[in-house]
């Protein structure tokens, strides 16, 4: 298992290298426009050329990438081209905001998904119809619409919650809660629907298997059969969906943060990408890749832990 994890981490580091190079290469097409937008109205061909030299953009691509990589390996992610803010500090500052939305959303959606999925799968009839209805609504109403609807109702009309903005937890936990409750709700609805339908589907499959019948003939309580046996057997596929959902939430956070004006990872990425802040984008690429690799590794280890037969290591 350790060698599996180490191998995966090794592969992950190579992936990060490839990813960052591709990002850098793609960015190199827009160096010209980035420089001119940095200079603004005053840009002349001469001044653009001068700034390109000053920033080192005139050198061969591999040299520039090599220099960036060398610095990163020494813990230096550079500074923002526009704000002079150190990249690593800036990324982690924004990450806190996003995680304080994504993590609660993930916990809420997973818990409610397991409850909904198990409930629907183990009770036929009306209970299943109702939970399926809830899941469907969660699926087909785009998060963007839910977000705006909730803002209109709870922030604009009722005035119970702030429409936009973010208060750090350390400043005022009450205000923090108020500022994240709508974004968390929006993310949770979609996430719960996705995970719940997976849990329901695989629970139904498991409950029809031979071993469930044999367990019943041994006098084992129904609850134990559902929760200890069937749920654990169906947790593998659910974990795959869970890891996809976690990463998808970082994507959805981009839109959600824009709607709610949360100064998070998504907003930061969007703004940096629009203005072409190369060191920041590169830092974000490294972080995004590492996060994806970590989540996938944990999901695979989790699936193996849950189901000895599916151990890939």
Stretch that binds another protein, among 29-37, 89-97, 98-106, 179-187 (CB under 8 A): 29-37
Q: Which of residues 87-126 bind another protein (CB under 8 A)?
A: 120-125
In the beta sheet, which residues pair with residue 86?
A: 79
Q: Which residues contact 179 (CB under 8 A, 6 or more apart)?
A: 161, 162, 165, 166, 167, 260, 262
| Least spacing, CB of residue 120 vs another protein, in Å | 6
- # of chain residues touching another protein (CB under 8 A): 86
Footprint of another protein on 161-220 (CB under 8 A): 194, 200-201, 203-205, 207-211, 213-220
Distance in angstroms (rounded) separating the CA atoms of residues 220 and 201: 23
Site for another protein in 34-63 (CB under 8 A): none
Q: Which residue of 1, 9, 11, 49 would you call a contact of another protein, by CB under 8 A?
A: 11
Tell me the Cα Rg of the chain.
24
- Cross-strand pairs, 237: none
- Distance separating alpha carbons of residues 63 and 85, to the nearest angstrom: 24
Q: Are 181 and 231 in contact (CB under 8 A)?
A: no
Q: 289-308: which residues touch another protein (CB under 8 A)?
A: 289, 292-293, 296, 306-308
Degrees, nearest 5: CA angle 270-297-242: 65
CB of 246 to another protein, least distance (A): 12
User: Taking a C-beta distance cutoff of 8 angstroms, is the pair 80, 280 a contact?
Assistant: yes
Contact flag: residue 27 with another protein (CB under 8 A): yes
- Told to check if 274 binds another protein by CB under 8 A, we report yes
Q: Could you say which of 13, 25, 232, 261 contacts another protein (CB under 8 A)?
A: 232
If the CB atoms of residues 172 and 222 are measured against another protein, the closer one turns out to be 222
Among 43, 69, 141, 227, binds another protein (CB under 8 A): 141
List binders of another protein among 241-270 (CB under 8 A).
244, 247-248, 250-251, 254-255, 258, 266, 269-270
Closer to another protein by Cβ: residue 170 or 223: 223
Per CB under 8 A, 145 contacts another protein: yes
């Amino acid at each position: 298992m350790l060698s599996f994890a180490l191998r995966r981490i090794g592969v992950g580091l190579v992936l990060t290298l490839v990813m960052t190079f591709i990002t850098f290469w793609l960015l190199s097409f827009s160096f010209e426009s980035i420089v001119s937008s940095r200079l603004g109205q005053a840009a002349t061909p001469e001044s653009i050329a001068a700034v390109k030299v000053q920033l080192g953009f005139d050198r061969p691509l591999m040299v520039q990438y090599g220099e960036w990589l060398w610095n990163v390996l020494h813990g230096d992610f550079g500074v923002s081209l526009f704000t002079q803010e150190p990249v690593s500090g800036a990324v982690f500052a924004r990450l806190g905001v996003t995680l304080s939305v994504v993590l609660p959303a993930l916990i809420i959606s997973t818990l409610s998904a397991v409850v909904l999925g198990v409930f629907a799968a183990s009770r036929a009839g009306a209970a299943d119809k109702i939970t399926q209805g809830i899941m469907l609504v969660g699926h087909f109403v785009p998060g963007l619409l839910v977000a705006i609807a909730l803002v209109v109702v709870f922030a604009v009309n009722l005035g119970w919650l702030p429409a936009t903005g973010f208060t750090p937890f350390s400043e005022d936990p009450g205000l923090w809660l108020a500022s994240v409750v709508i974004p968390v709700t929006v993310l949770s609805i979609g996430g719960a629907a996705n995970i719940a339908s997976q849990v329901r589907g695989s629970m139904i499959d498991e409950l029809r298997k031979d071993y469930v019948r044999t367990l019943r003939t041994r006098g084992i309580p129904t609850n134990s059969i559902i929760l200890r046996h069937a749920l654990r057997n169906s947790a593998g596929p659910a974990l795959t969906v869970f890891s996809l959902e976690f990463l998808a939430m970082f994507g959805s956070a981009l839109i959600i943060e824009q709607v709610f004006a949360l100064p998070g990872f998504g907003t930061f990425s969007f703004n940096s990408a629009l203005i072409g802040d190369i060191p920041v984008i590169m830092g974000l690429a490294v972080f995004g890749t590492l996060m994806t690799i970590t989540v996938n590794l944990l999901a695979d280890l989790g699936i193996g832990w849950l189901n000895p037969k599916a151990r890939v290591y």
